[in-house]
Amino acid sequence: MTDELDEDLLRAVSVYLKRVAADDRDAGAARRTPLGDAVSTHLGEDASLIAVVTESVADHRLVDADIALAHLAGQGGSLIGVAGGDQRMHQGFAELISNPYAPFQPGPVDYIERACGPAETRRVVSMGIWLLTFEDSPLAVLQRAASPRTGRDTATLEVVAADNDIVSAFLERLRSLMVEMSVLRRKVLSLQPTEFGHQAGATFTARPDVGADQIVLADGVLDEVVCHVIGIGRHRDELQRAGQHLKRGVLLYGPPGTGKTLTIRHLASQATDSTIVLLTGQSIRLIAYATEIARTFQPSIVVLEDIDLVAMERHSSPQPLLFEVLESLDGLEGDADVTFLMTTNRVEVLEPALAGRPGRVDLAVEIPRPGQHERERLLRRYAGELPFSDAAITSAAAATDGVTGSFAKELVRRAVLAAASAEEQVSDAHLVRVLDEIMDSRQQLTRRMLGADAEQ
Ligand X SMILES: Nc1ncnc2c1ncn2[C@@H]1O[C@H](COP(=O)(O)OP(=O)(O)O)[C@@H](O)[C@H]1O
Q: Write out the residues near ligand X by the rule CB under 6 A.
A: 215-217, 256-262, 367, 378, 404-406, 409
Query: Closer to ligand X at the Cβ: 88 or 369?
Result: 369
**CA distances from residue 412 to 157, 193, 352, 367, 383 in whole angstroms, order as listed:** 56, 38, 39, 22, 6
- The least CB distance from residue 210 to ligand X, in Å, is 9
Binder of residue 126, out of Mg ion, ligand X, none (CB less than 5 to 8 A by kind): none
What is the Cα–Cα distance from 15 to 12, expressed in whole angstroms?
Answer: 5
**Range in contact with Mg ion (rule: CB under 5 A) among 164-172, 229-237, 254-262, 364-372:** 254-262
In angstroms, rounded to a whole number, what is the distance separating the alpha carbons of residues 25 and 87? 25
Q: Supply the minimum distance, in Å, between the C-beta of residue 262 and ligand X.
A: 4
Binding at 365: pick from ligand X, Mg ion, none (beta carbon under 5-8 Å per type): none
Strand 363-366 versus strand 248-253 pairing type? parallel
- Select the binding partner of residue 182 from ligand X, Mg ion, none (C-beta < 5 to 8 A, by kind): none
Q: Judged by CB under 5 A, does residue 258 bind Mg ion? A: no
Q: Exposure of 119 by Cβ count < 10 A (0-12 exposed, 13-18 middle, 19+ buried)?
A: exposed
For residues 218 to 247, the per-residue mask of contacts with Mg ion, x marking binding by CB under 5 A and - elsewhere, is ------------------------------
Beta carbon of residue 408, minimum distance to ligand X (angstroms, whole number): 7
In the list ligand X, Mg ion, none, the entry touching 215 (Cβ below 5 to 8 angstroms by class) is ligand X
**In this structure, are strands 338-344 and 300-305 parallel, antiparallel, or unpaired?**
parallel
Residue 166: Cβ-neighbour burial (10 angstroms; 0-12, 13-18, 19+): middle
Q: Which is nearer to Mg ion, 282 or 394 (CB)?
A: 282
Q: How far apart are CA 100 and CA 23, in angstroms?
A: 14
Please, which residue, 215 or 415, has the CB nearer to Mg ion?
215
Name the residue type at position 82: V
Pick between residue 138 and residue 259 the one whose CB is nearest to Mg ion.
259
CB of 167 to Mg ion, least distance (A): 47
Question: Where is 233: in which H helix or E strand?
Answer: helix 232-234
Nearer Cβ to ligand X (275/404): 404
Instruction: With CB under 5 A as the rule, give the number of residues binding Mg ion.
Output: 2
Q: Which residue's beta carbon is nearest to the bound ligand X?
A: 405
**Residue 261 binds Mg ion (CB under 5 A):** yes
Give, in degrees to the nearest 5, the angle at Cα 114 between 112 and 117: 160
Contact status, residue 108 vs residue 123, Cβ threshold 8 Å:
no
Per CB under 5 A, residues contacting Mg ion are: 260-261
